[in-house]
Amino acid sequence: MTITPLSIQNVSKFFAGKTAVDDVSFDVNPGEIIGFLGPNGAGKTTTIRMALGLIKPDEGSVKLFGHAPGAHAFGRVAFLPEERGLYKKQTARETIAHMARLNGMKGKDAFPLADKLLDRYGLSEAKRKKNKDMSKGMAQKVQLLAAIAHDPEFYILDEPFSGLDPVNQQVLENMVREIAERGRTIIFSTHVMEHAERLCDRIILISGGRKVFDGSTDEALAQAPRRMVIGSEDSRLREAVSPFADHIEDREDGGLTLFLKREADSHEILEKCVGAKIKLARFEPRNPTLHEAFVALVGHDEAAKMDEEVL
């Protein structure tokens, strides 16, 4: 029987009378890559801390590998917290080996593994460098390697992309893909939709402490309004396409952005324009993004918070 790595049921948490997490439930199934999305203060980190047993929920229950979080799960979980830091007096290889040993690996295996990982991810020169002497980017990579060195079954990564430059974000994306290819289960929180869109099988969206969406990426995208950019010199265009759109926005280039009705079909729009002999300069159906899905699900205010964080 396959054990669910993480099951969170009706979990709530209050701090000083304020609700941080409100009746959140979800299961993480083996082999899934889950994006845990939401703006800062949405309750992502609190949920993750409850999942690991670092803090106890005020209501509801958490099961990690079928039991309440605790020592039984030590060594089976890789956790990268949002707050980054390293023991400054250790070298990179000591840091990785130390965490691997805390997770149950033997010393004679841990040090060669640390060397191998550092070589593999371009940190060979940092092996014997003290953490305090490393650049921020290098230190972040070392911490990530320390968190995952023991290659457990379940990875919980809290904002793993934050603070990384684009090159290292790509390296991290590749690492996540490699881990997933080994059949491991991954949940990572982020407020950068593009990462989730590229990597995840499933999205859990949280806002104001409440879960607002839980489903596959395609299902999430389906929540977003479909758009189309259309352009013509013919003044009859707006009138011709308006039956297909909930909302039309004028573009600076003279074209129109159509926010399509659920039942609208782009072929029908094209047929109607051709039938009305409207010469089209542009006809570009646009794929929805997770960001648009998020706006549709939580509203513009919450989405704006997320945009601010990305900026």
Partner 1 sequence: MVSLPQLDMRRVYLIARRDFLGYVKTWGFWLSFFMPFVFGFMGFFMSGAIDKIEPTRYETILDETGQYAQPILDLKAERQKKIEWKAIETVLEFTNMSEEGIAGYKTRYESEGIEGLLSDFEGALPSSQIDKIKNSAQGNTRFVDPPNTDLEVLKDYLKGDTTLVIDGESQKLNGVLHIYEHEGKAKADYWSGNVNSKYVQRLAEDYFEDKAEQEYLASGGLSKDGLTQAKKGTTSIQAFDPNKSADDGQAVTKADKIPLIVAAVASGILWLTIFSGAYMLLTSMLEEKLNKLMEMMLATTRFSEVIFGKLLGVAALTITAMLPYIAIGIFAAILYVVQGPPEFMTQFKASITPKLIIFFFVFLILGYVFYGALFIALGSLAESMQDAQTLTTPIMIVLTACILVVPMAFESPDSPLLTFAAWFPLSAPFAAIARLPMDPPWWELALSAFFLFLLSIGVVALAGRIFRYGVLSGSGVKGVTDWIKRVIFRRKVKA
* CB closer to partner 1 out of 100 and 297: 100
* CB closer to partner 1 out of 86 and 199: 86
Please give the Cα distance from 263 to 163 (Å, whole number). Answer: 42
Q: Write down the least CB distance from residue 256 to partner 1, Å.
A: 45
* CB closer to partner 1 out of 143 and 207: 143
Q: Write down the least CB distance from residue 199 to partner 1, Å.
A: 22
> Which residue, among 143, 26, 28, 11, has the nearest Cα to 78 in the 3D structure?
143
How far does CA 70 lie from the centroid of its chain? 25
Q: Using the rule CB under 8 A, is 54 a contact of partner 1?
A: yes
CA dihedral 270, 276, 279, 285 (to 10 degrees): -20
Binding mask 76-115 for partner 1 (x = CB under 8 A): -x-xxx-xxxxxxxx-------xx-xxx------------
* Largest Cα–Cα separation, the chain: 77
Q: Write down the least CB distance from residue 103 to partner 1, Å.
A: 5
Binding mask 265-284 for partner 1 (x = CB under 8 A): --------------------
Residue 292 sits at φ, ψ, to 5 deg, of: -65, -35
- Per the CB < 8 A criterion, the answer to whether 197 and 41 are in contact is no
Q: Write down the least CB distance from residue 214 to partner 1, Å.
A: 24
Binding mask 120-159 for partner 1 (x = CB under 8 A): -----------------------x--xx--------x---
Half-sphere exposure of 161 toward its Cβ, with a 13 Å CA cutoff? Answer: 26
The first and second tokens of residue 78, run together, are 């890789």
DSSP at 16? T
Q: Is beta strand 6-15 parallel, antiparallel or unpaired with respect to 77-80?
A: unpaired
At position 30, the amino acid (one-letter code) is P
> Which residue, among 311, 151, 121, 150, has the nearest Cα to 303 in the 3D structure?
311
Q: Tell which positions 8-47 bind partner 1, by CB under 8 A.
A: 16, 18
Q: Using the rule CB under 8 A, is 55 a contact of partner 1?
A: yes
Half-sphere exposure of 305 toward its Cβ, with a 13 Å CA cutoff? Answer: 15
Q: Write down the least CB distance from residue 18 to partner 1, Å.
A: 7
Binding mask 229-268 for partner 1 (x = CB under 8 A): ----------------------------------------
Please give the Cα distance from 272 to 306 (Å, whole number). Answer: 38
Q: Is beta strand 280-286 parallel, antiparallel or unpaired with respect to 227-232?
A: antiparallel
At position 194, the amino acid (one-letter code) is E
Q: Using the rule CB under 8 A, is 52 a contact of partner 1?
A: yes
Query: Which region among 73-81, 178-186, 204-212, 292-300 touches partner 1 (by CB under 8 A)?
Result: 73-81
Residues that bind partner 1 (CB under 8 A): 16, 18, 49, 52, 54-55, 71, 74-75, 77, 79-81, 83-90, 98-99, 101-103, 143, 146-147, 156
